Amino acid sequence: MTTTAPAAPPRPARAARAALPPALRRARRRSAGLGLLAWLVGIVFFLPVAWMVLTSLHAETDAAANPPAVAASLTLDGYRTFFGSDGGPSPWPALLNSLMASLFSTLLVLALALPAAYALSIRRVKRWTDVLFFFLSTKMLPVVAGLLPVYLFARNTGLLDNIWLLVLLYTSMNLPIAVWMLQSFLADIPVSIVEAAQIDGARLTTVLARVIAPIAGPGIAATSLICFIFSWNEMLFARVLTGVTAETAPVFLTRFITSQGLFLAQVCAASVVISLPVLAAGFAAQDKLVQGLSLGAVK
C-alpha cells in the first residue's frame, strides 16, 4: 500500500514498514512450515493407499519381501490372479451383483425420496420438521438389531440369496440420508418458479422432472453418488443374507481374510478393484460429501 502512495507517505506507515520485515519474514517462514506439515500429514495418511496400489502391481515374491522391495519391477499378475487366471473363482458375478444392488437401490431411493423431499421443502406438510427428524431417527438404530427378523423373513419367503432383497434393504438404509440431503437442496429453489409451473397446469411428476430436477441436478447427483457408495460398501446384510448367487463384492473380499501363502499382491489388487468405484464416486461428490455424511446437518 505504501509503495503506491505517490507523495510523502505518512510517518506511521514508514515506521511500520521499517518494523515489519523481520516479523513478516518470521510469519512467512512459519506459514511455509505449516504448509509443509500439512503436506506431510496428507502423505502419511495416503501412504497405506499408495502402498496398496504399489503392492498390487508387484510379483507375489516381491510383495512378500522383507525389507520391502519398493523398486521391484511392475506386473499385472496380481490382477490376473484376482480375475481368476489360475482357476480361482471369478469376481465378475460378485461385482455385477454389487453394481445391481447399488444401482437399483439408488434409483429406488430417488423415486421415493424426491417426492418426499418435495413435500418437506416446496409444498410443505404440517409439522414437516417432525417428519424429517423421524426419518433421521431410523438411521440411528443399529442394523444388527433387526438382522435376525429380516433373515427369518427371507428364509420363509424364499428370498435368501436374492439380490432384490438387498436392493430393498439398501433402499431403507439410504432413504433417510437422501430425504435429508434432497430436502436441503430443494429448499433452495424459489417457490415462485414452482408455482408458475403449477398455474400453467403442470402435474407433480412434470414439475419434478422438468422444473425441479434441472435446478437441483447437482444436488441430486451428489445424493445418488453417496447412496451408491453406502450400498457398495455394505457387508453385514450381504454376508448374512446372500450365499452363492447373490454374493456381493465386499462378501467376495472376505475370502481373503485368512492368509493363503503368497497372496498379498492378489489381495491388494482385489482391494483396489473393489474400491475403485467408491473412490471415483467419492471424488466426484467431494464438495457435497460432508453434507451427505453429516446427514445434511453441515452445508
Residue 35 binding other proteins, by CB under 8 A: yes
Please report how close the Cβ of residue 21 comes to other proteins at its closest, in angstroms: 20
Residue 166 binding other proteins, by CB under 8 A: no
Task: For the chain, report the end-to-end CA distance as a whole number of angstroms.
Answer: 36
Nearest to 292 by CA among 143, 176, 166: 176
Q: Which is nearer to other proteins, 17 or 239 (CB)?
A: 239
Cα torsion 199, 204, 205, 209 to 10°: value is: 60
Q: Which is nearer to other proteins, 21 or 45 (CB)?
A: 45
* # residues near other proteins by CB under 8 A: 110
Stretch that binds other proteins, among 8-16, 99-107, 138-146, 212-220 (CB under 8 A): 138-146
How long a stretch of residues is the chain?
299
Q: Which is nearer to other proteins, 10 or 42 (CB)?
A: 42
- Other C-beta atoms closer than 10 Å to the C-beta of 229 total 23
Distance CA 276, CA 229 (A): 11
Q: Which is nearer to other proteins, 8 or 200 (CB)?
A: 200
In the window 72-101, what residues touch other proteins (CB under 8 A)? none
Stretch that binds other proteins, among 10-18, 89-97, 211-219, 285-293 (CB under 8 A): 285-293
124, 194 in Cβ contact below 8 A?
Answer: no
Please select the residue that binds other proteins; options are 17, 52, 161, 162, rule is CB under 8 A: 52
Residue 206 binding other proteins, by CB under 8 A: no
Residue 142 binding other proteins, by CB under 8 A: yes
CB neighbours of 176 closer than 8 A, spacing ≥ 6? Answer: 135, 136, 138, 139, 295
Please report how close the Cβ of residue 232 comes to other proteins at its closest, in angstroms: 7
Q: What is the DSSP letter of 236?
A: H
